[in-house]
């Protein structure tokens, strides 16, 4: 490994930060914490000390009092708070939707159905927002494993599908259209799978 590829250690990073940022701004702090995320907390603490030192130095001709010290500490804390908020906002990643998770795992509904050996109609009903929660434990465990997502995510994703179904039932003359939804068990039993496969997905083996 040559010198350019070597990863600097904590002390080297803090020394470089100390040399470069005499009175760190929030912009400089964000730049350095993004560049060295493994030392982000140390950089923020060092920046707070530098700001407080700079504040004390600017007022060294005056006899420091509690008010001056409080202002210095307040400024340092405000800088830290601002930098942490911006850093947290930059790191926030929107949660994947059901279609995005399918796509990221390389699936569409027919391919996923073949992969887990289930009637594609079952997944089609789920995908169309017509399968009510809760899902069967076996399907939930299988989907989270294949898609690499958590059970909590799956429940939120299915709730999102239920909130925007693709097909509505017929409306009566004096009523709004109703959503055709069925329970997990109803959909499994209505599928074209063998009785053994139905029992498997219903956990009735």
75 within 8 A of 51, measured Cβ to Cβ: yes
Mean of per-residue pLDDT scores for the chain: 78
pLDDT confidence bin for 66, thresholds 50/70/90: low
Cα Rg, the chain, nearest whole Å: 29
Question: If DSSP codes are grouped into helix, strand and coil, which group holds residue 181?
Answer: coil
Q: What are phi and psi of 26, to 5 degrees?
A: -60, -35
Q: How far apart are CA 188 and CA 166, in angstroms?
A: 20
pLDDT above 50 for 168? no
Q: How far apart are CA 103 and CA 88, in angstroms?
A: 27
Rounded CA gap, 119 and 109, in Å?
10
Domain ranges of the chain: 10-91, 98-202
State yes or no: pLDDT of 176 exceeds 60: no
**pLDDT at position 120:** 95
**Cα angle 134, 189, 201; round to 5:** 60
Up-side HSE of residue 187: CA atoms within 13 Å toward CB? Answer: 26
Instruction: Determine the Cα–Cα distance for residues 1 and 8; give it in Å rounded to an integer.
Output: 13
């Amino acid at each position: 490994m040559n010198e350019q590829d070597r990863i600097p250690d904590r002390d080297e990073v803090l020394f470089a930060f100390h040399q470069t940022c005499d009175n760190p701004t929030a912009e400089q702090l964000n730049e350095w914490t993004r560049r060295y995320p493994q030392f982000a907390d140390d950089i923020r603490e060092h920046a707070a000390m530098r700001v407080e030192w700079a504040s004390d130095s600017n007022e060294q001709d005056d006899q420091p009092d509690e008010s001056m010290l409080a202002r210095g500490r307040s400024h340092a804390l405000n800088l830290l708070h601002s930098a942490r908020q911006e850093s947290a906002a930059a790191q926030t990643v929107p949660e994947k939707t059901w279609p995005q998770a399918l796509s990221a795992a390389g699936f569409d509904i027919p391919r996923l159905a073949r992969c887990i050996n289930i009637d594609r109609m079952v997944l089609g009903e789920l995908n169309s927002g017509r399968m009510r929660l809760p899902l069967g434990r076996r399907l939930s465990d299988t989907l989270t494993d294949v898609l690499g997502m958590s059970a909590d995510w799956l429940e939120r994703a299915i709730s999102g599908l239920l909130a925007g179904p693709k097909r509505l039932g017929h409306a009566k003359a004096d009523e709004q259209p109703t959503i055709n939804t069925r329970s997990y068990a109803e959909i499994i039993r209505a599928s074209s799978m063998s009785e053994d496969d139905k029992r498997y997905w219903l956990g009735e083996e």
